[in-house]
Structure 1
Amino acid sequence: MAHHEDYRQWPFLTPEEFELTCALFDKRYIQAKLGPTRKNFKINTRRTLTTGTTSIEIIRLLQLPEEEDDLLRQFAKLGGGAPDVSGDIAIDIAMADEEEDHEALRPAQNVDGTGDGLPQYSLYSHQPYVTYEIHLHATYRLPTLWFTLHDIPNGEPSLDIDSVYRYLVPEQYKSQLREVGVTGGISAANHPVTDVPAFFIHPCQTKEAMECYNCPIEEYLMTWVGLVGGCVGLYLPSEMAQAKIGGP
Structure 2
Amino acid sequence: MVHHGEYRQWPFLNEEEFDLACAFFDQRYVRAHLGPTRQIFKIRHRRIATTGSSYVEILRLLQLPKEPDELSALLEGLGGDWVESAGSEMQMDSKDEDADQEVLRPDSNELPSYTPYAQQPYVTYEVHLHPTYRLPTLWFTLHDLPAGEPAFDLDAVYRHLVPPQYKDNLRALGVTGGISAAPHPITDVPAFFIHPCQTKEAMEQFDCVIDKYLMMWIGLVGGCVGLWVPPEMAAVP
TM category (shorter chain) comes to 0.7 to 0.9
Aligned twin of 2:174: 181
Where does structure 2 lack aligned partners over 5 or more consecutive residues? 82-90
**Normalised TM-score (structure 1):** 0.84
Aligned twin of 2:17: 17
1:99 CA drift (Å): 2.0
Aligned twin of 2:209: 216
Is the CA contact 2:31–2:101 (under 8 Å) kept in the aligned structure 1?
no
Match of 1:128 among 111, 117, 121: 121
Q: Which shifted more, 151-160 or 11-20?
A: 151-160
Q: Which shifted more, 31-40 or 159-168?
A: 31-40
Aligned twin of 2:87: none
Cα deviation code 1:186-235 (max 9, x no counterpart): 00000111111100000000000000001111111011000000000001
Separation in 2, partners of 1:108, 1:8: 33
**Normalised TM-score (structure 2):** 0.88
Q: Structure 2 matches for 1:31-42, cutoff 5 A?
A: 31-42=31-42
Separation in 2, partners of 1:106, 1:147: 23
Aligned twin of 1:201: 194
Aligned twin of 1:153: 146
Separation in 2, partners of 1:119, 1:108: 12
- The one-letter code sitting in structure 2 at the alignment partner of 1:120 is Y
- Percent of pairs with identical residues: 62
Aligned twin of 1:50: 50
1:241 CA drift (Å): 0.7
Does residue 238 (structure 1) correspond to residue 231 (structure 2)? The answer is yes
Does residue 78 (structure 1) correspond to residue 79 (structure 2)? The answer is yes
1:132 CA drift (Å): 0.3
Aligned twin of 1:83: none
Q: Give the number of equivalent residue pairs.
A: 227
Q: Could you say what the CA RMSD is over the residues aligned between the two structures, in angstroms?
A: 2.3
Where does structure 1 lack aligned partners over 5 or more consecutive residues? 81-90
Is the CA contact 1:42–1:106 (under 8 Å) kept in the aligned structure 2?
no
Separation in 2, partners of 1:169, 1:103: 35
SS of 1:169's partner is coil
- The one-letter code sitting in structure 2 at the alignment partner of 1:65 is P
Separation in 2, partners of 1:193, 1:166: 26
1:49 CA drift (Å): 1.6
Is the CA contact 1:107–1:119 (under 8 Å) kept in the aligned structure 2?
no
Separation in 2, partners of 1:188, 1:17: 26
Separation in 1, partners of 2:223, 2:2: 26
